[in-house]
A and B are shown apart, each in its own frame.
Chain A
Amino acid sequence: MASRALYSPRHPVLKKRDDFEDVLEERRRSSDLRYALRCYTPTLYKGLVPCKVSMLKSIVLQSDHLQCVIKQVSSESGDSTECVAEEASLILDEMAHRMQLSTVRFFVFTLSKAFKRLFRSVCVNEEGIQRLQQAVQEHPVVLLPSHRSYMDFLMMSYLLYMFDLPLPVIAAGMDFMSMKFIGEMLRMSGAFFIRRSFGGDKLYWAVFSEYVKTMLRKGYAPIEFFLEGTRSRTCKSLTPKTGLLNIVMEPFFKGELFDVSLVPVSISYERVLEESLYARELLGVPKPKESTSGLLKARRVLSEDYGSMHVYFGHPVSVRSLAEGKIKRSQYNLLPRYIPQKPSVDTHEFLNDAAFRLVRIQEENMVLKPWVLIATLLLQNPDGMDLSSLTEQTDWLRHLALAFGAFLDWPDHEACSEVISCSLALHRRLLSVSAGHVQLSVTDAPQVETTPEEAVFQRAVVVLSCASYRNQILHVFLRPALLAVAMQSANSSRKDDIYNCFNFLRNMFSNEFILCPGDSVQDFEEACYLLMKRGVLQVLEHEIVMSASGQSTLAFLCSVLEPFLQGYQVVCRYLCEETNENLTEKEFIPAVRSFALKLILAGRLKCCEALSSDLQKNALAALLRLKAVRKVKVGDQVTLKVNKIAVNSLEDTMGKSDVISK
């Protein structure tokens, strides 16, 4: 049975998490072939209506909902209904999965081989699997994994096969389809493909939503999709999308299903396969030469050590309990249910809130490796650290992180120095270690002619790669860090003033981090609680006072947010200094990037993270949301109209201690 409380007020230390078991261990001992061919008898949903792939298609095409939309579209466009119906059928062909067990078995075989080469271990919480086994029998299940790598959904299906769970159908982006062969293979292992954008296409939306809902209603298979919509290039969770979430919840809202179980799954990698690819993508740098030959690259990938991987199946969340008191299901009483209805304002708010909370569950169950702590420290010390002080500080940070509820996978009974040297060895590509001094650096063979720009980018690739590890733990420090910065910039110890600053920062960064809308007060209280418990602060009725011993913690927390503050300031500065009245949306990223590059080259900016397009996009989104920038459509182009006074004042409020030296 799905848990009732989705998100209880947290007492991080008390949080209990399941133990892990390495599923590769067994694979290393017995035949992969026999394993791939073994008898697969999944646990089934009690209300399952058995249904073939081909039948599924005709059910969808004959559905009242789709028929209704076909008629609508036909009368709007003037095309005959047959014509529109034909179009719908083609859309469905393009979209639909064609799952067959033989393909799955092939994948199981090859993936067993690949996983054993790539990973030292793949750890899964078996209690989570057991809960899932229970859940799939009770109600239709939706699997919501985090998305950091292409590996994610392969791994999901692999694990579900392994534990005799029904194989999921997976919503995948159309981009896979460009890889003809792989695309078809994935289709046959349960992926279905959706176009990236189909905003106004009523028919497409109808086919797509009816397809997903039909599978859900029939209990055909668990539906799997990524709340974040796409792979996170930064290893930070992305602001969730609500479209698919609405689709899978609607059968409950409309009474077609008693309940739907949502299962957040957190997949974490000790080393992400796409690590440097992501960094290059964020910097807009062309991929390095060696990767042009896909084969060579694949071999290189396979020969590397990616450490361990953790998959944590969270507690199933019942949509029914989630919606209790928030969604008035009777709002659907007055319209036949097959007529498509835009979600009401309330529903939309609910979906958004639910999506954020689910992503937060994903974040919380994400396993963090020691390297995440080390990366955090190394990024704060660009000139490097002595191994001894690194060890000492990592240990300190470890305790802080644990006190804040981090899900840290720290090896038992091993000396801290031992743990650290292991981590350093695994991530040696990002480091240079000499004479007991550890520093982030480019270890690739020094290039013959490097321009200063190239040198900056090479450094930035390393910094951003490293940041992607630090980012994994940001959710643990985020709230206390916002409070720390707020205290610094409030210049007052009055609780109200600090809260206002906190709220401002939270608002500013709500495109950057997962901050549930409307949870401002809760977040503030949580931050106060955590820091108070740690002895960093004393929270009085109207005042917040720093303890003598709290200085170092607060300083650390401020530096956690520093790169983001600086990055946002760079964006603001750029917008204020930019003279082009007709700056288009498309030009924005390259322009900010070259602006930041200039600042770095001139020695006025140290922080490479300002070069990240992700940060730049988030900053722009925040400014748009805060109405400091407006989008204006001129012809085909979208241009950005900057309210310089507003941007300037936001920049000032963000950082009284201006870091970009003028």
Chain B
Amino acid sequence: MLLQNSTCRASEGQEIMKWNGWGYSDSRFLFNKKGQAEFTGKRYRLSGLILPSLKDWFEGTFGANLQHRSPATPSLNLSAVAPPHLNQPFVEDLKAAGLSVSHDPEDRVFRAHGHCLHEVFALREGRIGRVPDVVVWPSCHNDVEKIVELACKHNVCLIPYGGGTSVSSALECPREETRSIVSLDTSQMNRILWIDEKNLTAHVEAGIIGQDLERQLNERGYCTGHEPDSMEFSSLGGWVATRASGMKKNIYGNIEDLVVHIKMVTPRGVIEKSCLGPRMSTGPDIHHFILGSEGTLGVVTEVTLKIRPIPEYQKYGSVVFPNFQQGVACLREVARQRCAPASIRLMDNEQFQFGHALKPQVSSIFTSFLDGLKKFYITKFKGFDPHHLCVATLLFEGDRGKVLQHEKQVYDIAAKFGGLAAGEDNGQRGYMLTFVIAYLRDLGMDYYVIGESFETSVPWDRVLDLCRNVKERIVRECKERGVQFPPLSTCRVTQTYDAGACVYFYFAFNYRGLSDPVHIYEQVEHAAREEILANGGSLSHHHGVGKLRKEWMKESVSGVGLGMLKSVKEYVDPQNIFGNGNLL
């Protein structure tokens, strides 16, 4: 139920989304009556398809069984939601200012969480913790200014909310917060305000969702090229606030390379630069106080971004390597020669097998014959051990001639490291996996399997050691904590840089027989993070710190560094209006 002035628009995104899992309500994995896995809906390439080998992989990898189900609570039990703790004068003032406001329990619960395992697990069990007391939808920069002003006046806590895809507990309401908590949902600030074709920039409201931004720009012949894996749901403001990274950063850059201008409303007022110069030497870049501030300083309202004409040609590709070491060596060489394609990702063997399990049913005998032949060629003729080989997926972009030339260069390098070209299809499937993998977690959770991903960045010379040690640490910690089956502990290198790489870990296990699986999960993830830091990895490459990784901030940026950040917070927000408790 929405209060006055609100429009249906406000919760329309919410309607088509799962309340207790990832993504769209109509899209989910399930095992059908024949025990075959299928993906429902029509939105993805995989939608409506049967995945014949997923069941065996799933049962074999986790020791799971389709008979043993752990279904989620079907719907939100509204009585489990505590009544809102309203700051009446504040709410009155909001309404008087003509803003959309709601204290409907569904609206509040929807904005009380991101997608950390513990958050989703609790929702599935119908456990609801502290949730925001009010949701407010500003529709422009001025609305935000008004809200922040009123929040300061009435001393309420504001938590900015963009796409809700956080995986760092950033949206969790701090338990110690006694004031009324207001979720500031930016979803209505979703317009492209102008496009400047001379300078190739666009000025966009920060609430816009990634896929909408890209689609609207595409209609005009442009793109930002910023494609984080969450781009279907995450918002521009969220990218800025967490220092997001896109799959194609090799061409377009990460978010910090893409922004030209940022406008943010803070309790002290609005912070922004006075011009759109492409680079400045005006002391420390104030954008870097905003980038990665994780909603602790204010709300990003408008961003000027670089845009590019849509590339003429796009081509996927893939390379099979005899082992992970060779694959990493190849990626390193590609980075050394600075010829990385728009995207290059290297999956380890476990993930390669996982990818295989997601192959849809082949339509013809011929394709299946061809697949068999390929497999024979790689494993028997080339002598690759199916338990060691790994695959890199590639995405090239640009004008056709250059792409083909570029492609040749990369495949030539790969050949030096024993890599064999393995076709476009494998490459494309690899990227598709990125978008559906989050859905797979929900399937796992239906059958006693929980899991999550986490990431880091690390210098090149430590990539292999870090991957091996972290994976082994995960296996060992699970064993020591009484997890009955060996966990899935796998990684991939997802980004290359001059001086290092971004590594992503997937970790999941079967929790049958454990009384507090989430706690065990958290302990293992904690241990894995310790291992990452001990092996020269960073606290985070792009997920951010939130509340989940706060304890390591001092170690990561030094006491003085943390003090600097704190003093900025102290100046900008002395009342701690932006009290989500992230980062510091």
Contacts and interface: CB of A to CB of B under 8 A. Distances in A.
A71 interface: no
A437 interface: no
A258 B471 CA distance: 10
Contact of B536 (A258, A328, A330): A330
Contacts of B466: 255
Nearest to A259: B472
A512 to B, nearest CB: 38
A337 interface: yes
A411 interface: no
Contacts of A336: 461
A329 interface: yes
B445 to A, nearest CB: 30
A255 B472 contact: no
B552 to A, nearest CB: 10
B470 to A, nearest CB: 10
A332 interface: yes
Contacts of B555: 330
A255 B461 contact: no
B469 interface: yes
A255 B469 contact: yes
A337 B468 contact: no
B533 A255 contact: no
Contacts of B472: 258
B554 interface: no
Nearest to B536: A333
Nearest to A333: B536
A330 B534 contact: yes
Contacts of A337: 461-462
A162 B468 CA distance: 33
A256 interface: yes
B534 A329 contact: yes
A328 B533 CA distance: 10
A127 to B, nearest CB: 22
A329 B461 contact: no
Interface string B443-480: 00000000000000000011001101100110000000
A329 B536 CA distance: 9
B535 interface: yes
Nearest to B471: A258
Interface residues of A, number: 10
A636 B473 CA distance: 54
Contact of A256 (B465, B473, B533, B534): B465
B508 to A, nearest CB: 21
A336 B534 CA distance: 14
A334 to B, nearest CB: 9
- Interface residue SS majority, chain A: loop
Contacts of B465: 255-256
A337 B465 CA distance: 12
A258 B461 contact: no
Given A336-B461, A337-B461, A330 B533 contact: yes
A127 B38 CA distance: 51
Interface in A316-363: 328-330, 332-333, 336-337
Contacts of B473: 258
Nearest to A64: B461
Contacts of A328: 534
Interface residues of B, number: 13
Contacts of B469: 255, 258
B532 to A, nearest CB: 10
A330 B537 CA distance: 9
Interface string A244-262: 0000000000011010000
Nearest to A328: B534
Nearest to B555: A330
Residue among A255, A328, A336, A337 with the highest chain B CB neighbour number at 10 A: A255
A336 B462 CA distance: 10
A255 B465 CA distance: 6
Interface in B527-561: 533-536, 555
Contacts of A256: 465
Interface string B336-348: 0000000000000
Contacts of A255: 462, 465-466, 469, 534-536
A258 B470 CA distance: 9
A332 B459 CA distance: 13
Interface in B417-456: none
Nearest to A254: B465
Interface in B112-152: none
A332 B468 contact: no
B549 to A, nearest CB: 15
Contacts of B535: 255, 329
Contacts of A332: 536
A258 B468 contact: yes
Contacts of B461: 336-337
A255 B531 CA distance: 9
Pick from B472, B473, B535, B555 the residue with the most CB of A within 10 Å. B535
A328 B466 CA distance: 16
Nearest to A47: B468
Contacts of B468: 258
Which residue, B461, B468, B469, B533, has most C-beta atoms of chain A within 10 A? B469
A255 to B, nearest CB: 4
Interface in A297-333: 328-330, 332-333
Contacts of B534: 255, 328-330
Nearest to A49: B325
B66 to A, nearest CB: 33
A333 B535 CA distance: 7
B205 to A, nearest CB: 40
A463 to B, nearest CB: 52
Nearest to B535: A255
A267 B469 CA distance: 34
A255 B462 CA distance: 8
A72 to B, nearest CB: 19
A258 B472 CA distance: 8
Interface in A399-418: none
Interface in A67-120: none
B475 to A, nearest CB: 10
User: Max chain A CB contacts within 10 Å: which of B462, B468, B534, B535?
Assistant: B534
Nearest to A331: B534
Nearest to B538: A333
A330 B554 CA distance: 14
Nearest to A253: B534
Nearest to A323: B534
Contacts of A333: 536
B488 to A, nearest CB: 18
Interface in B469-512: 469, 472-473
A405 B468 CA distance: 42
B555 to A, nearest CB: 8
Interface in B180-216: none
A336 B472 CA distance: 23
A338 to B, nearest CB: 8
Interface in B519-533: 533
A333 B456 CA distance: 14
B182 to A, nearest CB: 39
A332 B473 CA distance: 19
Contacts of A258: 468-469, 472-473
A328 B531 CA distance: 11
A256 B536 CA distance: 11
B322 to A, nearest CB: 14
A310 B472 CA distance: 36
21 contacts: A255-B462, A255-B465, A255-B466, A255-B469, A255-B536, A256-B465, A258-B468, A258-B469, A258-B472, A258-B473, A329-B534, A329-B535, A330-B533, A330-B534, A330-B536, A330-B555, A332-B536, A333-B536, A336-B461, A337-B461, A337-B462
Given A255-B462, A256-B465, A333-B536, 9 more contacts: A255-B465, A255-B469, A255-B535, A255-B536, A258-B468, A258-B469, A329-B535, A332-B536, A337-B461
| The 7 nearest A-B residue pairs measured at CB | A329-B534, A255-B535, A333-B536, A255-B465, A258-B472, A258-B469, A330-B534
